Amino acid sequence: MITDSAVPTPEDLQRPVAWRHGQAVLLAEFQNHVAAVASRLAAAGAAMINLCDDRYRFLVSYAAAASVGHTVLLPSSRAEQIVAEVQAAHSRSYRFDDAMVDAALSDCCAAGGATLSVPAEHVVMIGFTSGSTGQPKGFPKLWRSMLASTARNVASIRREVNIAADVTSWVVATVPPQHMYGMELSIMLPLIGGTAVHAGRPLFPADIARALAEVPAPRVLVSTPIHLRAIVESSQEFPATDLIISATAPLDAALAAAVEKKLGGRLLEMFGSTETCVFANRRTAHDEAWRLYEGVELQPVSDGTLVNAPWFVAPTLLQDLVELRGTDRFIVRGRNTDMIEVAGKRASLGDLTRRLLAIEGVKDAVVFQPESEAVATIRRVAALVVAPGLTASQVQDLLAPSVDSAFMPRPLIVVDALPRNELGKLPRENLLKELRRRTGA
């Protein structure tokens, strides 16, 4: 396996790594596939842009790239312009997709896979921020850092549902492997051992239920609030799911409790970023405070929070404003760029959004600043709201008792759906485009 230089035992080689085409892929076959793809990469370049849609093909090509000393680039989007910009910025970078994996596997023999190792200090990947709060930026990840944080993810999963060390848990993920969250929870987990992953990326409730039913128990669903809300609101029946993991956007306690009731397992919300990877979690249906991973330290500063851990190269500044609760717990109070001020009054865009979502009849909402230069000196806020059966003025009337008039969103526009990306996030450029379309500004 690529995480260990030791020769796998015969028992190790029978360990499942993935579920594909209705059956388990064992470690022996996976290593053969990795070796077949790796043989085609040596002269390809130095950095792979992994564009595979199929999660197993992504897993194989990711492991193959690491095994030959290449770095995997993870653009914030697979849009052609974004991919082209990343490729142009990294010399000797190349694209790799599903068809290329299939071409390599067509020549794969029944034996010949090798135990693959990766140097601890190798930059195994570069993740890029989503662009939700600014210009996308790359963050290199060392192999040792990824192993350390993944080991803690594994420990959290096993502890939460009491999975024994010799039992394989099965992951079904609705998030793409190109995103850091998807990378950590659906690609790194099977590489470190003890977890296997479904090759698909189901999006709709019926597809998610089908994928969960295909894999053995214990089952782990890796998803996002937008997908989890669709699951709760659907009439679809689901197989018992031992653990549900959520990230990419805040999850409220009521939805977390509804998910647990619907799927029968515990819901664990992960806290992290492209810059840091996951470093804390909480059982959102019951806990407001986040629990830090062992070894992680937080230091609140004026413009955010410094995060450090033994596996970090250096402390990392996040824009989140936190309140420490002892040595291993914290509460998030907002983001540095989330705070707004007018006439000496302060408010949080996140809090304004939560107040909108609390209105009966509002299904989805976001409050944001149209003028990027207005951070901390706001001139106005705007809102996009999904509220079937309500008008914009009705929503404003219902919101008025809970917010200062200085922070009432103007304009507040009722829309059919928010312009979310495939992760359920709301990139700023999407919000501004929708606002211009609706107002003509």
What is the pLDDT at residue 426?
Answer: 86
Task: To the nearest 10°, report the CA torsion of 186, 35, 66, 120.
Answer: 100
What's the confidence (pLDDT) of residue 113?
Answer: 59
In CATH terms, 343-439 corresponds, of 1.10.150.120, 1.10.3720.10, 3.40.50.970, 3.30.300.30, to 3.30.300.30
Closest CA to 229 of 418, 384, 396: 418
Amino acid at 131: G
**Do residues 112 and 3 make contact, with C-beta atoms less than 8 angstroms apart?**
no
Distance of alpha carbon 290 from alpha carbon 271, whole angstroms: 8
Instruction: Spell out, as residue ranges, where the chain has pLDDT lower than 50.
Output: 5, 132-134, 373-378
Query: What per-residue string of b and e applies to 207-219 under the rule 16 or more CB within 10 Å gives b?
Result: ebbbbbebbeebb
CA angle, corner 105, sides to 193 and 45, nearest 5? Answer: 85
Extents of the domains making up the chain: 143-335, 343-439
Query: Given phi > 0 = left and psi -120 to 50 = alpha, else beta, which region is 361?
Result: left
Q: Do domains 143-335 and 343-439 have the same CATH topology?
A: no
Contact between residue 65 and residue 94 where contact means Cβ atoms under 8 Å apart: no
Q: How far is CA 117 from the centre of its chain?
A: 26
pLDDT the model gives residue 378: 44
3.40.50.10800, 3.20.20.60, 3.40.50.12780, 3.40.390.10: which CATH number matches 143-335? 3.40.50.12780
How far, in Å, are 140, 151, 211, 313, 315 from residue 146 at the CA level? 11, 8, 27, 12, 16
pLDDT tens, position by position, 308-365: 999 999 999 998 889 999 989 999 987 767 777 765 667 888 889 989 988 999 989 9
pTM, whole model, 2 decimals?
0.85
**Per-residue DSSP letter, 8:** P
Residue 395, pLDDT score: 95
